[in-house]
């Protein structure tokens, strides 16, 4: 099993290209199930989750072709992928596939809308909270679906097709917003989704669906209205840049010091996180090429933060920001409001010498003079990269184990960091 080996102490200087967003790529790939025509996705990241979803979609009959690289193309450029579900050959999403990745449960919406029935295993994924699928099921039921849970499967049918209506989420859910939006695109009548997720990835999916012929308004607001159409067609769509990868590398530069251009990044996608980072003493500058992040000699300041649904501070950057605060002057309080088990990285950061006290959903982080290298273990995707950030400044050698978590959401992380001067490599543990 691979590990990441880091020798801390080097500043980061140079250019880091930002990949396409994992959290946008997955629902965009699933949207291919809604039409028998070809969906072409540009800037698709090379990630384990993308590969896993490719296998799941193939099980349903989706053909998948990766376009070859072009002469002179940047080696870090995203993939161009052609997907086509000319015929749905299987409406069952089995446990052995769905259990490996939570987002694969989202096929329930397009399969039900296009085929009128499906059997989808209840999902697996990171152990960072219960994240129930009640909202998905209740929303689809509001559109006329009949769904029963039997032997760990959601047995869904809509013999007369899905129909419009209205559904209000009791709590914001990005995944469920994706699913209802896709399902409603082929429903009869108009569907109104209230308390919808406002994340950029929701807007990106809506833009793609509109390019496919869907009639959607309000994406990016709390109320999304979808007027169902009889059929969707093929389209070409470019995946938006990954705001979580952007924030992660910005925090890595803040941690180590130096000056890095995050090429292709968009500040508007994570303004709250960038505003918070600026308060630590890090310089953030938006350019035509992306976002330039630098910290040269300025001491890090402790800053309090609370995770919130978009446009607030993302829960997916909480672990990375906590790593940064371990070296800040003073004490910061980090409050996690989205997931109940998302402090599993605390004990691993403590192995490096971090001083963190937990109080329910709050973590009080007191900055220390130095962190020291150690063997640490990744527990989930975002926690794993927080350990890498800490290792970049820790004295001596740090080894991060179980980095298969990293490969789910970060494309060539060690290569991007090494290109900016970090001593980091992948090894066989």
d(Cα 30, Cα 136) in Å, to the nearest integer? 15
Domain boundaries, the chain: 2-19+241-428, 22-238
Residue with tokens 């799941």: 56
Q: How far is CA 133 from CA 149, 184, 194, 404, in A?
A: 11, 18, 17, 25
CA 22 from chain centre, in angstroms, equals 5
> What is the chain's Cα-based Rg?
22
* Topology agreement, domain 2-19+241-428 and domain 22-238: yes
Q: How many CA atoms lie within 13 A of 290 on its CB side?
A: 23
Quote the pLDDT of residue 381.
77
CB 412 within 8 A of CB 46: yes
| Catalytic residue (choose from 118, 126, 208, 420) | 126
Would you call 126 a catalytic residue per the annotation? yes
* pLDDT for position 297: 86
Per CATH, which fold does 22-238 belong to?
Answer: UDP-n-acetylglucosamine1-carboxyvinyl-transferase; Chain (3.65.10)
Kindly give, in sequence order, each residue whose CB lies less than 8 Å from that of residue 288, ignoring residues fewer than 6 positions away.
none
Q: How many Å apart are CA 50 and CA 411, to the nearest integer?
A: 11
For the chain, the farthest-separated pair of C-alpha atoms sits apart, in whole angstroms, at: 66
Within 8 A by CB and 6+ apart from 163, the residues are 143, 144, 187, 188, 189
Q: Which pLDDT score, from 0 to 100, does residue 361 have?
A: 94
Helix (H) or strand (E) holding 427: strand 423-428
Residue 284 annotated as lining a ligand binding site: no
Residue 296 assigned to a binding site: no
Question: Per the annotation, does 23 bind a ligand?
Answer: yes
Look up tokens 């992306």; give the residue: 290
* Residue 316 annotated as binding site: yes
Q: What is the pLDDT of residue 413?
A: 96
Contact yes or no for 228/190 (Cβ under 8 A): yes
Other CB atoms within 10 A of residue 270 CB: 27
Q: What is the pLDDT of residue 75?
A: 66
CA atoms of 333 and 358, how far apart (whole Å): 10
pLDDT, one tens digit for every residue, the chain (429 residues): 899 999 999 999 999 999 999 999 999 999 999 999 999 999 999 999 999 999 999 999 999 999 866 665 666 778 999 999 999 999 999 999 888 888 999 999 999 999 999 999 988 544 434 456 899 999 999 999 999 999 989 999 999 999 999 999 999 999 999 999 999 999 999 999 999 999 999 999 999 999 999 999 999 999 999 999 999 999 999 999 999 999 999 999 999 999 999 999 999 999 999 999 999 999 999 999 999 999 998 999 999 999 999 999 999 999 999 999 999 999 999 999 998 777 989 999 999 999 999 999 999 999 999 999 999 998 887 788 999 999 999 999 999 999 988 988 899 999 999 999 999 999 997
Q: Tell me, what's the pLDDT at 69?
A: 66
State both tokens at 236: 């070409």
Q: How far apart are CA 376 and CA 388, in angstroms?
A: 10
Class for the domain spanning 2-19+241-428 = alpha beta
**CA–CA separation, 104 vs 122, rounded Å?**
9
């Amino acid at each position: 099993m691979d590990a990441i080996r880091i020798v801390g102490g080097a500043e980061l200087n140079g250019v880091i290209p930002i990949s396409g967003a994992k959290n946008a790529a997955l629902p965009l790939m699933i949207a291919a199930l809604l039409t028998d025509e070809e969906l072409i996705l540009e800037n698709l990241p090379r990630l384990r989750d993308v590969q896993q979803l490719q296998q799941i979609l193939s099980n349903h009959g989706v053909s998948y072709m990766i376009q070859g690289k072009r002469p002179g193309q940047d080696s870090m450029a995203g993939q161009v992928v052609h997907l086509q579900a000319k015929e749905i050959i299987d409406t069952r999403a089995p446990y052995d596939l769905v259990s490996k990745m939570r987002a694969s449960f989202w096929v329930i919406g397009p399969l039900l809308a296009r085929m009128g029935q499906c059997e989808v295993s209840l999902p697996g994924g990171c152990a960072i909270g219960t994240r129930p699928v009640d909202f998905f099921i209740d929303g689809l039921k509001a559109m006329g679906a009949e769904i029963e849970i039997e032997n760990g499967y959601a047995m869904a049918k809509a013999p007369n097709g899905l129909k419009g209506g209205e559904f209000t989420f009791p709590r914001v859910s990005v995944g469920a917003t994706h699913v209802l939006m896709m399902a409603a695109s082929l429903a009869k009548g108009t569907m109104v989704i209230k308390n919808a997720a406002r994340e950029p990835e929701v807007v990106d999916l809506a833009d793609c669906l509109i390019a496919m012929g869907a009639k959607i308004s309000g994406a990016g607001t709390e109320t999304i209205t979808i007027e169902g159409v009889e059929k969707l067609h093929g389209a070409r769509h470019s995946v938006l840049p990954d705001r979580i990868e952007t924030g992660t590398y910005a925090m890595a530069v803040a941690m180590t010091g130096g000056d890095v251009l995050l090429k292709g990044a968009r500040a508007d996608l994570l303004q709250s996180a960038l505003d918070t980072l600026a308060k630590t003493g890090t310089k953030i500058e938006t350019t035509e090429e992306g976002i330039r992040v630098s910290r040269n000699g300025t001491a890090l300041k402790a800053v309090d933060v609370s995770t919130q649904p978009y446009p607030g501070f993302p829960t997916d950057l909480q672990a990375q920001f906590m790593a940064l605060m371990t070296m800040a002057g003073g004490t910061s309080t980090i409050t996690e409001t989205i997931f109940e088990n998302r402090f599993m990285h605390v004990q691993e950061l403590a192995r490096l010498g971090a001083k963190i006290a937990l109080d329910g959903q709050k973590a009080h982080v007191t900055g220390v003079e130095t962190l020291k290298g150690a063997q640490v273990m990744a527990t989930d995707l975002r926690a794993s990269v927080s350990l890498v950030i800490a290792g970049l400044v820790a004295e001596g050698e740090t080894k991060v184990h179980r980095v298969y978590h990293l490969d789910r959401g970060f494309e060539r992380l060690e290569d991007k960091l090494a290109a900016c001067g970090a001593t980091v490599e992948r090894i066989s543990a």
